[in-house]
Structure 1
Amino acid sequence: MSGNNTGQAQLSDRVFTVPNVLSFARLLLVPVFLVLLIQGKDAAALVVLVISSVTDFLDGYIARRFNQQSRLGQLLDPAADRLYIFAAIIGLAWRDLVPWWIVAVVVGRDVLLLVLGVVLANYGFGPLPVHLLGKVATFALFLGLPLIMLGLAVPEIAAFSQPVAWAITLWGAFLYWWAGAIYLIETLRVIRLPRAVVPRQSDTLEP
C-alpha cells in the first residue's frame, strides 16, 4: 500500500473504475494467450503475458494512488492471476511440454480452496486472510512458467533457462500445495471456534 490515506481507503462497490477496466482487459486477454500458446506462437504469447503483467501493475498502482480500490477489483485481480496460471499450464501440457500432473496439482489445489470457501460460508465465516506462502507460490509459478515459454521462444537460451524454469515451477507447485494445507488446517481450526471469537476476515482469499 502507498502511504497516508490510501492505505486506509475503504473498499467501494463501484464497478466502472479505471483499475477494474484494466482488470477486465487482462481477463479478455486470457483466451488470446491460451490460443497463441496452444498454436506454438510462444513469442506472441509472451508479449501478451508481458502486456497483462504491465496492466496488472498499473491497475494496482492506480487503485492505491487515486483511491479507486473496490470489492470487485479485489475479486478480479486474483481471478486473473489464477486464469493466466491455468492457461499457461494447460497450453504447455496440450503440447506435451509439461506433464498433465502439473495441471492436476495446480487445479486441484484451487478446487480445494473453493471447497474450503463453501465450508466457511456454511459455518457463517468469511474467507480466510491471505497467507504469505500462497503469494510466494503464485509468484514462483508466474516466474517459472514464463521462463519455460521463454526457452521455447528463444531456443538459444533454452539450455540455461529450462533447468532454472523447471526448478522454480516445481518449487512453486510444492509451495502451492503447502499453502493449501495451511488453509485447510486454518479452516478446520476456525469452524471449531465460536463466531464471536473470530475477527473480521478479508474480502478475498488469494492463493
Structure 2
Amino acid sequence: MIRLIGAGTRPGRETTVTDTFWTVPNVITVLRFLGVPLFVYFVAGEKYGPAFITLVVVGSTDWVDGYLARRLNQVSKVGQWLDPVADRLALIVVASTFVVQGIAPAWLVLSIVIPDAILIVNALVLFHGSPDLPVSNAGKIRTALLLLGAPLLLLQRVPGFDYDWLSATGNAVLLLGCVGHIYAAAGYLRAAWHKYARERSAAGNG
C-alpha cells in the first residue's frame, strides 16, 4: 500500500534539517503559491477548464514537495514554515474566490478563516510569533480533502462535465474538509497551550 502521509521517508536514515533555502522542495512550494493568482485569474474569467487544471497542479504539488523533501533528504528550516504558510494562504484565497464567484457557499470560507484567525491571535499572544508546531496528520488530511473537493466543483462547470453528482460529491468532500479543518485547528490550539505551559514551567524551574 502506498503511503500518502510521510511518503518518501527512508527507513533507517536520519533526517537532516538544513538552513538552505534553494532546495527542490522549496522551489516547488514557491511555484505552487505562484499558481494561486493564476487560478484566481482563470476563475474570474470563467475559464473553468484551465482553472481546474491549475488547481489540480497546485493541490498535487502539496504532496510532491513533502515527498521530495524526505526522499532527497532536503528538509530545511525554511521549508518547515514555508510549506504550511503557502498551504494556508492558498486555501484561504481559493475558498474566498469560490465564495465570491458563487461556486461555493459562504460557510466554506468562514470555516477556514475563523479558525485560522483564532490560531494567529493565540500564537501572537502566547509566543509573539509562530509557535513552531509540527504539521499534524489531521491537518494534512484536511488539506487533501479541501484540495480534492474544490476541483470537483470546478470540473462540474466545464462544458461536457455538467453532472450533478460532481457538484454533490465536491460539496460533500469540502464539508468533510471544513470539519477536519476545525478539528485540526482545535488540535493546534491545544498543542500551543501545552507548549506554552511547558516553556513557562521550564522557565520557572530554571
TM-score category by the smaller chain? 0.7 to 0.9
Aligned to 1:64: 70
Instruction: Report the residue type matching 1:65 in the other structure.
Output: R
Whether 2:12 is the aligned partner of 1:23: answer: no
Deviation of 1:126 (Å):
4.0
Change in Cα spacing, 1:95 to 1:176, as seen in structure 2 (3 Å) is same
TM-score (norm: length of structure 1): 0.81
Percent identity, aligned pairs only, is 33
* Alignment of 1:100 onto 2:127: no
Match of 1:136 in 2: 141
The CA distance in 2 between the partners of 1:134 and 1:144, in whole Å, is 16
- Aligned counterparts of 2:194 and 2:18: Cα–Cα separation in 1: 31
List per-residue Cα deviations over 1:46-91 (Å, max 9, x = no partner).
1112333444444333322322211111222222222332222122
Kept in 1, the 8 Å contact 2:16–2:75? The answer is: yes
1:174 is aligned to 179
1:106-137 Cα distance to aligned partner (Å, 9 max, x none): 11111122123223415x99433333222222
Conserved? CA contact 2:42–2:48, under 8 Å: yes
* Structure 2 CA distance for partners of 1:128 and 1:119, relative to 1, 3 Å: farther
RMSD, aligned CA: 2.5
| Residue in 1 that maps onto 2:4 | none
**Aligned counterpart, 1:145:** 150
Q: Secondary structure at the match of 1:137?
A: helix
Q: Does 1:165 align with 2:170?
A: yes
Offset of residue 166 of structure 1: 0.7
Residue among 16, 26, 50 paired with 1:10:
16
State yes or no: 1:116 paired with 2:101. Answer: no
Task: After superposing the two structures, state which structure 1 stretch, 27-36 or 72-81, moved more.
Answer: 72-81
Pairing 1:82–2:84 present: no
Which residue of the partner structure matches residue 97 of structure 2?
Answer: 91
Of 43, 63, 66, the match for 1:37: 43
CA distance in 1, matches of 2:189, 2:60: 33
Is residue 11–residue 71 contact of structure 1 (8 Å, CA) maintained in 2?
Answer: yes
How has the CA–CA distance of structure 1 residues 61 and 102 changed in structure 2, closer, same or farther, with 3 Å as cutoff?
A: closer
Distance verdict in 2 for CA 1:109–1:168, change over 3 Å: same
Query: 1:144–1:165: 8 Å Cα contact kept in structure 2?
Result: yes
For structure 2, the residue ranges without an aligned partner over 5 or more in a row are: 1-7
Letter in 1 for 2:16: Q
Q: Is the 8 A contact 2:36 2:94 kept in 1?
A: no
Aligned to 2:5: none
Q: Which runs of 5+ in 1 are unaligned?
A: 198-207
Greater displacement, 165-174 / 80-89: 80-89
1: CA distance, partners of 2:174 / 2:126: 30
Match of 2:188 in 1: 183
Is the Cα contact below 8 Å between 2:10 and 2:70 reproduced in 1? no
Whether contact under 8 Å (1:147, 1:161) holds in the other structure is: yes
2:58 to 52, 63, 73: 52
CA distance in 2 between counterparts of 1:24 and 1:55 reads: 10
